[in-house]
Amino acid sequence: MPSLILTALEGLPEVVEGDDLPALVREALARTGIALADGDVLVVAQKVVSKQEGRRVALSGVEPSARAIELAAVTRKDARLVELVLRESAEVLRAKPDVIVVEHRRGWIMANAGIDLSNVDAGGGHALLLPEDPDASCASLRAALADLADIGVIVNDSFGRAWRNGVTGTALGVAGLPGVVDLRGRRDRFGRELRTTEVAVADELAAAASLLMGQADEGRPVIHARGVPYARRDGSGRELLRPKSMDMFR
């Protein structure tokens, strides 16, 4: 029977700017007893990538703009955090107490431009921005491990959704596998042609991996997946972004 096997890699340390992430992953694979095979996928938490790439910002060095101060009063958030959100955003879509939803400058619709304060540092004085280019981050890690196997890589983050409660893992960056698989034109089991079905494969994998990663103090930022049931191609996270003209929630 088809199976998808997910395994959290063991013993990854707290990652800091400039760390050799591929080397840390190699060590964790060996520690966990996994030998990479062609077609495997590694799902990597956004925070690990952001920390390694130096995307941590000290709030003490952020000067809020007038717009940030205005939105901070509405949202009851730190004006310095709001300023960072504005810098990372193309447009503010909603702002109310405890919530600010934006279009990130890379196209994602998300709360706080994906900027996080949890699991960043012990003192709480820093914020963590998303990776500058998650697709490039995935491609870099994939290339660095290419001597082991031809794998796929996903950088994932936790997103809320406009029509559902709670957060779920979502693919920011993708390399070595499709972001979306288009099933239009195929037939179902009764011969009916599929007309609209497109599968967000990278998001489904990101969500599955998030079950093992956790959302608090679990410390499991890299998940190995084996048995992904779709044909390989080199996709990207950009495939998952719905054009504004087709966005029914704006």
Q: Tell me, what's the pLDDT at 113?
A: 95
Nearest to 206 by CA among 1, 34, 41, 12: 41
Q: pLDDT tens per residue, the chain (250 residues)? A: 789 999 999 989 989 999 999 999 999 999 999 999 999 999 999 999 999 999 999 999 999 999 999 999 999 999 999 999 999 999 999 999 999 999 999 999 999 999 988 777 767 789 999 999 999 999 999 999 999 999 999 999 998 888 889 999 999 999 999 999 888 888 888 888 888 888 899 999 999 999 999 766 667 899 999 999 988 899 999 999 988 888 877 7
Domain residues of the chain, as ranges? 1-54+131-238, 56-129
Question: Looking at the domain 56-129, which fold is it?
Answer: CofE-like fold (3.90.1660)
| 1-54+131-238 to CATH, choices 3.10.580.10, 3.40.309.10, 3.30.160.60, 3.30.1330.100 | 3.30.1330.100
Helix (H, G, I), strand (E, B) or coil at 59: helix
pTM: predicted TM-score of the whole model, two decimal places: 0.92
- How far apart CA 216 and CA 89 sit, in angstroms, is 26
Q: How many CB atoms lie within 10 A of CB 8?
A: 20
* 3-state helix/strand/coil string of 92-137: EEEEECCEEEEEECCCCEEEHHHCECCCCCCCCCEEECCCCCHHHH
